[in-house]
Each structure stands twice: as C-alpha cells, then as structure tokens.
Structure 1
Amino acid sequence: MRRKLFISKTNYGHRGSALLVVLLVMVVVSLLGMTLLTVTSINFKMTGKERDNQAVYYIAEAGINYEMNEITSNVEGVYNNSTDANDFFSNLETGYLYSTSVNEFEKVLGVTPYAYIKFTGTRLKDITSYTIESTGNIGNSKRTVWKSFEIKWIPKSGFNIPNDMAIFSNTTIKMTSGIINGPVGTNSIIPKSISLTQGAVINGQIYVGHGGGKEVLSVDEGIKVSEPQELTKTRIFKMPDFPAAFPNYPIYPNKTVSSDQYNSHKLVDGDKLNINSWILKNQYKVNTLILGGNYKFTEIYADQDLELNLDIGDQNRSIVVGNLNLNNGHLNIIGTGTLTIYVENNITFGSSSSINAKNNSGNQSDINHLNIYYKGTNPITLSGGQKVNGSLFSKSANIGFGAGSGFNGTIVTGGTDVSISGGANAVTRVLYAPNARVYFDQGGSLTGSVIANSIEMVGGPVVTYASTDNMDLPFFPPNTINVVVSDLIKSTDPVREKN
C-alpha cells in the first residue's frame, strides 16, 4: 500500500512540469513569430524604399532623354528658320530649352511620377554650353541627374555660289575654238552674248539670262548645241570677305643647320627664311623647319632647286610673309594640319618652283593642307612647270597660268584678268573671278567650275565640269545648305547623378 501511494504522488508532480514546458514553448513560439513579423515588415519597407529610389532615378534619366530627343528632333528646323546666332539661340531657348515638367509616365502604386527639367547655358560667340538637370519625383522620393552638351551656330553664307556649271559668265562667252564639257550659262539677255564660231563645242545644256531667249545664243552653221533654257532668276556673285588685317605673329627664332662640323647655313637669319645653300639638299637631312606655332618672315627665298619641309604636325598653322620669292625652290608641307600663308607684298615663281607639290612620301599632297591669302597688287604668274597644290585668294591681283604650269585647288580673285594658256593645267574646285575676264588660249585646260564676268576661249582649250556638291570651299562661309544635327550639337556627355 505504501508503494502505491508513493507512485501516485510521483505521477502528480510530472503533470505539473508538462504544463510549464507547454507554456514556455508557447512563449518562445510567440516571440519567434513576432520577431519574424517584425523582420518581414522591415524587409518589406526596405524593399519598397529601394524600389522607389531606383524608380525615381529612372524617371529623372527619362526626363533628360525626353528633352534631348525634343532638341535633336527640332534643332535643324530652328537653324533653317533662323537668320543669325542671336535669332537661333533665342528661338531654341524659347521653344525647347526652358524649365518644364515631364509627367508622361505610368502610375507607381497609385502615384503619378514626374521629372522637373531645368536648363542653364553659357554662350561664347557662336557656341553655347548647356547643362540640363532633371529631378525625378515619386511621392516623397527625389533624385537629380544632369548632362552637359554644346550647340553651335554655323554662320550662313551671305550669298550662294551656284557652281553647278562648267562655265558661268555674268556677261559674254565667246568661243572661236575649244571644248566645254558640261553646262554653260550667262546672266545676259543681250543678243549674241554667247557666241560659237569655227570649231567651238559645248557638250552640255546652255542657259541664258532671266527674260532672254534664243537670240542670246549665236552659233556658226554646222555647230550643234542644245536649245537654250532661261534661268529662273539672275545670279548674283560677290566677293567673300578678305582679312581686314593680317595677324601679328612673332618672328621665327634664328636657326642654323649644319651638314657636318665644318659646314653650316643660317636657315633663319633675322626675319628671313633662306633656302639657298647646298647644305639643305635632301641627303643631309637638315631641310626641315618645325612650325610649333605661328610666325612671321619678311621674306622667304628659295633657289638652287632646293626643298624645305615645313612640319606643322597635326595642327593648323599660319605664317605671315612679306615677300614669297621662289626663284627656283620648293616648299613641302609635312603633317596632317593646314598651313595658311598670308603674303603681304609679292609672290614670285621661277624655274620649276612649287608649293605643297608633294608630301613626305613623295606623293602629291592634299590641297586641303594649304591656303594662301595674297594682298599684293602685282600679278601672280605660274609657268615653266611651276606647281601649286592648295587654294589661293588674291585680293585684287590678276593671275596667269602658262607654259605647262599646274594649279590644283580653289582660286578666288578680285582681279580683272585671269589667263590660262600654253598647256597650263588647272584642276580647280572653283575658279571664282566675278570681276574678271577669264581668257583661255593655246591649249590651256581646266577641270572644275569657272565663274567670271566674261569668258573668251581661243586656241583649242578644254574645260570640263566637276561638281563640288556638299563640299565646303576655302575662303567662303561654310556650306549651310546641308547642315545636319551632328553639325549643330557638337558634343554630349553621359548622364551623371548630382550629389
């Protein structure tokens, strides 16, 4: 009996312990559940904030992309309808570059996002540097990004050069012989302004002045030409601007070159460049002058069939020269830039002298590497195998090519007389001489386009038209007929976040 009573007491005690364990487990489970709910809630809130933070960045970025697309889509039209830089930038800023809001976005959790856009700009002459800021907004979340870019005004030509013909004359075209391959035209409506006799040939359409007709054209019997067509309007040609004053550059430092320890030559002496010593022969490899800047010489003199390499590297360089006297010598341009030569008084060529005739590989040089401005009044004459590869702007001097000479480039002159004769070969983009009589004789030839006051052809010359469409000509304002967006928006940077 005692043993049974003892066992009964023991079972009663275990039942109390089990209740306590159950209560403790329930407490622990409750705590774990509350902790889990808290962590889940925090994670949910954090995920929402990260989502909103990322979304608001995309909204800000989208605002910039939207505005840049508006600008690039419309800048060309604004340019075409603007007359000058002030008009251009004013129209852009009034129509597109102003503070605004972009809200063309889908709702995020019932909230409509938007981007606030702000522009700032700094103008320097024909270029304005802009910064666009875009602040994305979703509820209380905001992020701001920015981007910089430049817009450039390209000055429009004050006149159009319709060099769409082999020959165009303001007044008369007289051909007693010779061949013109390409269109021919005149502003004149006076009878017989275009006259062809003997062996003259025109292989191309003929145009006469506005209001003129068949009477403007006179041809000998047996000569076949196209029926003349009337121009829709009179063509007006004026001279491009010649520099009012040449730049004021420093004198090149004195330079002595040596073939060995006993023989030397003063290549640059004072303010003169002397290309007249045997030491400058190619074999001694000292006939290169590095133009690390822009300089002035009172005279460049070349003789003895010597060459001097003007090394301009990859930069555009300029030199001012009082007298350019190539009695018998050669100036070669080395590098990828462009050399501009301003000549104040005289340009003289002798023997078989040349400028930019060949590059450092011995091949014909690029005509884009040389531009010459000539302010003197004495005529420029090339003959006897003399060559120039480049472009020439003569303020008022007359120009003559003869005796096998060659010119490859654009010629602009305000002179009254240009002659091409004696087998001379001119490969020009444009021979632009609106005040001059252009005279062809003795087999002189030209490839390109001629614009003159009057034209006369005798002695079997040949003129062949070559188009310069979509080509910017030296000395003239840029060709603005085919300006595109990439010409106007000059640089763009990536989108960055504002701190």
Structure 2
Amino acid sequence: MKNKFRKFTFYQNQSGYMLVTVVMLLLLFSVLGMSLLALSMNSMKQSTGEVKSQSAYYIAESGATLKLKEIEQTVTALSADKSLNKAAFLSKFEQTVLTKRNAAHQLVPQRFTQFESQRGEQPEAEVSVQLMNVNLETGVYEYQIVSKGMIGERHRTVSKPVLVNYTEGKGFVMPKNLGVYAKNQMLLTNGTINGNIIMDTLTSQVLEISGNPTINGKVYVPTESTGKVFKYSSGQQWWFDSKAPIVEKQGLIQEMKMPPFPQPFPTYPMIADKLMTSGKNTHYVIKDGNININSSVAPSVTMTLTQNVQAKNINFASDYKLTLDVGNRDIALVVDRISGQGQLDVVSKDGGSLTLYVRDNIDIKNHLNISQGKDVFIYLGPSADPLKPKTFVSSSYAEFNASLYAYDANLELVGSAAFTGQFLTGGKSVKVQGNTKATSADTTVVYAPKATVELTGSGKLFGAVVADVFKLNGGASVHSSEVDLGEGPFFEETSKESNVSVESGTTLEQ
C-alpha cells in the first residue's frame, strides 16, 4: 500500500511540470506573435510613409510645372502688346509672376490644390517665384520657382530655374496713327488734330480745352490713370457734349528719349581753295576754308564732293546759289556756320546723301534743298552757353527740305516756309507759325520730348508731334500719317521687333 501512494505522488508532480512548460511555451509564442505583428505593422507604416513622401515629391514637381505654364502664358500675353518696351514689359511681367510679401516681409506662396485626394487626404503645392539674377550684358533675367509638395504630414520641396530673355527690337517705333504725344500737358484753343493723342501722365485734367478745337481720333492715357484727362470751364461743357471725345487706357509705350548725338563732331581734311573766273573778273569761291557764294562772278556754283571734308563758313549774298553734288555717295561736310541771303541745294542719285555737321547755326533767307530729296541730314551743335540756347529759324517764304537734329537749340518754323523731314531737338521750345506747311506727300516729325511745341496760324503738319507740352491755336492742324524714323540717320532702322523667350532648367530637390 505504501508503494502505491508514492507512485501516485510522483505522477502528480510530473503533471504540474508539464503544465508550467506548456504555459511558458504559450507565453513565448504570444510574445513572438506580438513582436512579429508589431514588426509587420511598423513595416506597413513605413511603406505608407514612403508612398506619401514620394507623392509629395511628385506634387511639388507638378506645382513647379503649373507655375512654369502660367509664366509662359504671361509672356505670350504681354508679348502681344507691341506698345510695351523692355522696362514696361518686365514691370508688368514681375507684377504678375513674382510672389508677393506680407507686412512682415515674408513670402506669401501661391497654393495649387487641383490634385486628386489620396486616402482621404488632399495634396497641396505651395509655389513661390523670385528674381535671382540679371545679366546686364546678355539681357537675361533669371528667376527661380520653389515648390513645396504636401500630403498629410509629409512634404518635399523642389526648385526650377527659369530664364527670360528679352531681345529688344532695333530702333524706335512710333505708335500707329499718332497725331500728338504730350508727356505732361496739352492746351487746345482752336485748330484740328487728325489722329490719336497720347497723354503719358498719371496727372488728371492735363488736356485743357478752350475755343472750338477738333480731335479726329482717340485720346489714350496710361492704364493706371484715373481717365479724367480733360480740363474745361463750365462754359465749355457744350464742346464736350457735342464732340464726345473718346478716352481709352493703354499700356505704357516706349520711352520718348533722344537718340545719341555725335559729339564731338568728326574731323576731316579742310576743303581746298577754288578760284573761278568770269571774263576779266576772278573770285575765290573757296578761300582759307570759307565757301563764298557772294559774288556776281559766280552766282551759281556746283561743287562735286567725292570725300568727307570740312570748312569754316558758307557765306551767301544776293540769292546766289550753291549746289553740292554727292552723286551716289554718302558724304559728310563739317562747317562752323551757314548764313546770308542765298540758296543751298543738294543733288544725289542712287541713294546718295549729304550729312551736314554745323557747329554754330544756319541762317539763310532762301531755300535749303529745294530739290525736295530726302538726302540732307543736319546736326546742329550745342550752344556756347547752355543757359542761353541758340535758336534755329527756318527761312521765310522758302522751302526747308532736310532733317535736322539740334543738340539744344530752340526751333522756329515761321512765315510761309514749307518743310519736310524730321525735326529733333533737345531744346525747350519749338514754334510752328504763320502759313508754314508740309505737303501731304511727305511725312514730317517734330520730335522734342523736352520742349513746349506750339502750332499757331494756319500751318499744316503731316506726320506727328512729340512734346513735353503741346499747344494748338488758330487754324493750325496736325494730320497723322505713317512715320518711319529709320528713314533718317538719327534713329536706328526699325525693321526688327522685340523678342521674348522663356527657358526652364532642371528640377532639383532642395
């Protein structure tokens, strides 16, 4: 009996040991299972994070691409406006494209949200554009697009360089159908303007009306202007009601600046002496550098110029005539002064021309280039005293058929003189008076952006006027016609238009 009890006790102890072992194994497997589950869940979480991170990168790339497309559309739209010069183009471009800053001077990026949601989360891209560099030699402007792609808590940032190359057109182009351009003020008492008016100022009430002037065209003001351009008394309300002038806003036109003036004048060999004989009488037409057309021995002299030369003075008397024959050559003649009662004419063929450099002034009382060829170009040098500028006066009852560029002289086109060509001056006053006229077959430009230009009497000008202040009185009139400033030597040819191109670089992650 005793042995059986011991054997029974032994079996009970063995059974308890097995139970502990099983429990320990179950615990071990549970721990291993939980660990494997945690590892699996962590792996899935990391995989989801990688997907979101990659998505954020693609969102950032897409934001940069969308902004680049907007930039290209802006360039296309602004390029279509041919009235914009380089400065105006870039100003409007940067106003549209560059990222604005808040009061704290922090960038306020543009948000793009037009992306499909991912697992209930909406992707976004924050995009900014900044100017990075300007290459003054090449005219290339470098901008940088920075795009931050975001989805959930994940975000990635990329950058893309953008180059804008503005190649400015060669020369200067006058606005089409331009009658009068005035930078600061216009006063119309009577007379007629057949063509458009440009008032290039933001100031209100700068076009003053009195009397009964006529405007057959539109009045353009800058886009930023209030549009309230006219000034008139209550007694002039009838004019405004009956004429109903059209005022429109437009983008800035190119700056009306003076072209380069050749200074100092070129130096050439002195013209050789020339003796002429008539019977027993002799006369030095050229002596010691002076050209003397003031003797009955030689009342009409023709000189053939085959090379560039210089002289001192050209002296006229008694309506005698000097004809300069340049043939098919482009000849330059430098002189100190041209004066007296006489005629100066130029003949050319096959595109030949004469460029006169006059140090002092021109004061002749008869025709200058009555042949009416567009072959005479005159540079009138600076005044000896800038505070007392010289005055150039056209001939009364004569024709002045040449283009004139005065450094700082005031111009007076008076009497019944007929004139053609381009009249440019850096002076402060231009007066067109009396019955002065230009024929409709020719185009005349009065280009004086620093001057008060005044038309009075019954003069007619076919072409355009550029002034700081413009005044119209009496029966005077301006008749707009196509103007090509490239016909003379003062402005460069205007055959080439401006060109703008956009080039984007490689997208890189920041």
Relative to the length of structure 1, the TM-score reads 0.60
* 1:157, distance to aligned residue in structure 2 (A): 3.5
- Aligned residue for 2:202, secondary structure, equals coil
Corresponding position: 1:257 with 2:270: no
Structure 2 counterpart of 1:372, from 372, 375, 378: 378
Q: Which amino acid aligns with 2:376?
A: L
- Aligned residue for 2:312, secondary structure, equals strand
* 1:482, distance to aligned residue in structure 2 (A): 5.8
Q: Deviations for 1:358-387, whole angstroms, at most 9, x for unmatched residues? A: 2xxxxxx212x1000000421101242132
Q: Deviations for 1:152-186, whole angstroms, at most 9, x for unmatched residues? A: xx995365543641101011111011111111111
Going from structure 1 to structure 2, the CA distance change for 1:385 and 1:163 (only over 3 Å counts) comes to farther
Partner of 2:217: 204
Check the 8 A contact 1:355/1:387 in 2, yes or no. Answer: yes
Partner of 1:190: 203
Give the distance between the partners of 2:231 and 2:484, measured in 1 at CA.
Answer: 31
Q: Deviations for 1:270-312, whole angstroms, at most 9, x for unmatched residues? A: 1100000112235xxxx11111211111100111101111111
* 1:243, distance to aligned residue in structure 2 (A): 0.4
Check the 8 A contact 2:380/2:404 in 1, yes or no. Answer: yes
Corresponding position: 1:480 with 2:495: yes
Corresponding position: 1:218 with 2:231: yes
Q: Deviations for 1:99-128, whole angstroms, at most 9, x for unmatched residues? A: xxxxxxxxxxxxxxxxxxxxxxxxxxxxxx
Structure 1 counterpart of 2:447, from 420, 423, 432: 432
Going from structure 1 to structure 2, the CA distance change for 1:385 and 1:204 (only over 3 Å counts) comes to same
- Aligned residue for 1:166, secondary structure, equals strand
Give the distance between the partners of 1:470 and 1:400, measured in 2 at CA.
Answer: 21
Check the 8 A contact 1:275/1:308 in 2, yes or no. Answer: yes
Relative to the length of structure 2, the TM-score reads 0.59
Give the distance between the partners of 1:383 and 1:255, measured in 2 at CA.
Answer: 28
Corresponding position: 1:275 with 2:293: yes
* 1:444, distance to aligned residue in structure 2 (A): 2.6
Partner of 1:50: none
Give the distance between the partners of 1:270 and 1:473, measured in 2 at CA.
Answer: 32
Give the distance between the partners of 1:162 and 1:249, measured in 2 at CA.
Answer: 38
Partner of 2:472: 457
Partner of 2:364: 349
* 1:229, distance to aligned residue in structure 2 (A): 0.2
Q: Deviations for 1:252-287, whole angstroms, at most 9, x for unmatched residues? A: 111011223x122110011100000112235xxxx1
- Aligned residue for 1:328, secondary structure, equals strand
Give the distance between the partners of 1:276 and 1:472, measured in 2 at CA.
Answer: 34
Q: Which amino acid aligns with 1:366?
A: G
- Aligned residue for 1:162, secondary structure, equals coil
Going from structure 1 to structure 2, the CA distance change for 1:175 and 1:346 (only over 3 Å counts) comes to same
Partner of 1:390: 402
Give the distance between the partners of 2:212 and 2:237, measured in 1 at CA.
Answer: 11
Partner of 1:35: none
Q: Which amino acid aligns with 2:448?
A: A
Going from structure 1 to structure 2, the CA distance change for 1:433 and 1:303 (only over 3 Å counts) comes to same
Partner of 2:424: 412
Q: Which amino acid aligns with 2:423?
A: I
Structure 1 counterpart of 2:414, from 369, 394, 402: 402
Q: Which amino acid aligns with 1:457?
A: L
Alignment of 1:73-152 (within 5 A): none
Going from structure 1 to structure 2, the CA distance change for 1:272 and 1:469 (only over 3 Å counts) comes to closer
Check the 8 A contact 1:213/1:230 in 2, yes or no. Answer: no
Give the distance between the partners of 1:257 and 1:156, measured in 2 at CA.
Answer: 51
Q: Which amino acid aligns with 2:368?
A: I
* 1:192, distance to aligned residue in structure 2 (A): 1.5
* 1:402, distance to aligned residue in structure 2 (A): 1.1
Check the 8 A contact 1:188/1:216 in 2, yes or no. Answer: no
Give the distance between the partners of 1:479 and 1:158, measured in 2 at CA.
Answer: 5
Corresponding position: 1:181 with 2:199: no
Going from structure 1 to structure 2, the CA distance change for 1:277 and 1:324 (only over 3 Å counts) comes to same
Q: Which amino acid aligns with 2:251?
A: T
- Aligned residue for 2:491, secondary structure, equals coil
Give the distance between the partners of 1:189 and 1:225, measured in 2 at CA.
Answer: 21
Going from structure 1 to structure 2, the CA distance change for 1:470 and 1:323 (only over 3 Å counts) comes to closer
Give the distance between the partners of 2:403 and 2:210, measured in 1 at CA.
Answer: 34
* 1:222, distance to aligned residue in structure 2 (A): 2.7
* 1:347, distance to aligned residue in structure 2 (A): 1.6
Check the 8 A contact 1:156/1:477 in 2, yes or no. Answer: no
Give the distance between the partners of 1:296 and 1:469, measured in 2 at CA.
Answer: 30
- Aligned residue for 1:476, secondary structure, equals coil
Partner of 1:294: 308
Partner of 2:178: 165
* 1:467, distance to aligned residue in structure 2 (A): 0.9
Give the distance between the partners of 1:431 and 1:267, measured in 2 at CA.
Answer: 35
Going from structure 1 to structure 2, the CA distance change for 1:307 and 1:225 (only over 3 Å counts) comes to farther
Give the distance between the partners of 2:491 and 2:309, measured in 1 at CA.
Answer: 24
Check the 8 A contact 1:295/1:320 in 2, yes or no. Answer: yes
- Aligned residue for 1:222, secondary structure, equals helix
Give the distance between the partners of 2:429 and 2:472, measured in 1 at CA.
Answer: 14
Q: Deviations for 1:301-324, whole angstroms, at most 9, x for unmatched residues? A: 111101111111111111000111
Structure 1 counterpart of 2:353, from 322, 338, 342: 338
Which runs of no fewer than 5 residues in structure 1 stay unpaired? 1-82, 84-153, 359-364, 484-499
- Aligned residue for 1:330, secondary structure, equals strand
* TM-align CA RMSD: 2.4
